[in-house]
Amino acid sequence: MRKIMIAGNWKMYKTIGEASMLAEELKKELATFIEADIVICPTFTALNTVYSIVEDTPIKLGAQNLFWESEGAYTGEISPVMIKACGCEYVIIGHSERRKYFNETNETVNKRIKAALGIGLNPIICVGETLQEREADKTKAIIEEQLTGGLEGLSNEDMANSIIAYEPVWAIGTGKTATPDQAQEIHAFIRGWIKEKFSTLISENLRILYGGSVKPENSKELMGQADIDGALVGGASLKEDSFAQIAKNAV
Ligand code: PGA
């Protein structure tokens, strides 16, 4: 049985003070909620403060990105070691916004995944097609390309510590959600691909999250699909009531 995971991607929202308030509220809502794994991913600047608020709760902390070197002259970058030291157990890698605005490629995604795994962080690896790619009937080809490049050289053990998030780019922040059937089709495709490249056991245990305009109103139906094991939530994770409701709906 795969345990449901609900992860909140706070993106570039919330100062330290605002992040602390949200974390305090989530702590009230979810302090005893253990039916699903809850992960929150604030900005780098708020990580350590948020950690001090949730460290004694089941709520886990994740970062939104990392650089692959552990230290050095890389002005402006944050290393896996630094993220781990903030209390993170997870890190989002290859989000479509990073691919689009910061030239992230499957190759750099791969380096970041390996760096995360190397220090014991669990990567939440994002894949997904644009609207143009979907309309050109290239969805599966794009996902396959992202998986092939992103997961290159990973072992079964690495995969056992990883999570995949399918986030159709056209559904992120747009209010347009993939239908449960559309999402299920791609989740099943991803699981099948993992089975072929790694093993049946790895594929059966792998959690594949759906992301893209997940909200309390649509989360139950999405999470009810056989191959959807949780959600990566953007906008609706910025308010404690909607995020907590998504978590409660999922189990
Ligand atoms: P959204 O974002 O829920 O606001 O669509 C999801 C994401 O980008 O992870």
Give me the residue spans of the domains in the chain. 5-250
For residue 188, what is the enclosing H or E element? helix 180-197
The total of other beta-carbon atoms located within 10 Å of residue 113's CB is: 25
Q: Which two tokens stand for residue 28?
A: 């009230």
Q: Which two tokens stand for residue 4?
A: 């449901």
pLDDT of residue 138: 98
- What is the C-alpha to C-alpha distance for residues 112 and 28, in angstroms, rounded to an integer? 33
For residue 140, what is the enclosing H or E element? helix 139-150
Q: What number does the ligand 1 atom closest to the CA of 236 have? A: 3
Residues in the chain: 251
Q: What number does the ligand 1 atom closest to the CA of 213 have? A: 5
Dihedral class, residue 201 (left if φ above 0, else alpha if ψ from -120 to 50, else beta): alpha
Task: Report mean pLDDT in 10-residue bins for the chain, 251 residues.
Answer: 96 98 97 96 98 97 98 98 98 98 98 98 98 96 98 98 97 90 98 98 98 96 97 98 97 90
The one catalytic residue among 133, 167, 187, 240: 167
Domain 5-250 falls in which CATH fold?
TIM Barrel (3.20.20)
Residue 213 near ligand 1, beta carbon < 6 Å: yes
pTM above 0.85, yes or no: yes
Residue located nearest, by CA, to atom 7 of ligand 1: 234
Nearest to 225 by CA among 168, 186, 171: 186
Residue 235 near ligand 1, beta carbon < 6 Å: yes
pLDDT of residue 1: 83
pLDDT of residue 9: 98
pLDDT of residue 237: 98
